[in-house]
Amino acid sequence: MKIEIDDILKIYEEEDSNLKAYLQTHWLSKEEYVKEWVPIKNKIFNNDFEWFPDMVFNESYILRPLISGAVLIEEDYSDYLKVFEYFSQTEFVIIKDSLDYMGFKFNVSESWNDIFNANSKFLMNELFCFADNFYLFDKSGKWGKYTANEHENWVDVIGFKPEYLDLFRKYFPISEEEKKDVEEALPEYRNKIVW
């Protein structure tokens, strides 16, 4: 893990000790990701998925897409915390969907200010940006989110087991206008979307 962090610090030429401390706390090593998180990811997300808008979730999941753009935003963070609490989760991960591995692990006890460190060029360019695609999920294996910023319409697609529909309706409501926007943006997903 130290090598991965050192490589990031070299690439971004940041001398900010806050970034190094942030990465030491939140960086998810590739070894830990493969060992502990990939089996959970494979329960949620389609292993054959190559490029959005191909179906990103496994067949048993239903979908609730939202027009969005960033993998996490402050306005939604408290709703995600309620979902983590419902599933008795203590941590979650954000994984960049790219050839170069990049993963972060967060504790649900952290405040938004703990997670969002805007002083870092690295974090702004790689994590809290309106570019690239990301997976967000916890260890429950019951739900996950895919943020597709490289699609012509920025979308978040939340996938979950059907028995949790009321939970996601409660915390991620969708207006009639948003429904129309989503249906226009994702005609491929129309049969899997639930309102």
Name the one residue in this structure whose structure tokens are 């054959």.
48
Please report which confidence band the pLDDT of residue 51 belongs to, taking 50, 70 and 90 as the band edges.
confident
Residue 48 has pLDDT above 70, yes or no: yes
Among 55-59, 73-77, 124-128, 176-180, the range scoring the smallest mean pLDDT is: 124-128
The structure tokens listed for 169 are 């309706």
Distance CA 195, CA 180 (A): 11
Residue 52 has pLDDT above 90, yes or no: no
Distance CA 31, CA 25 (A): 16
Residue 19 has pLDDT above 60, yes or no: yes
Distance CA 119, CA 17 (A): 11
Per-residue pLDDT of 132-154, as tens digits, reads 789 999 999 999 999 887 666 67
What's this model's pTM, rounded to 2 decimal places? 0.89
Please report which confidence band the pLDDT of residue 74 belongs to, taking 50, 70 and 90 as the band edges.
confident
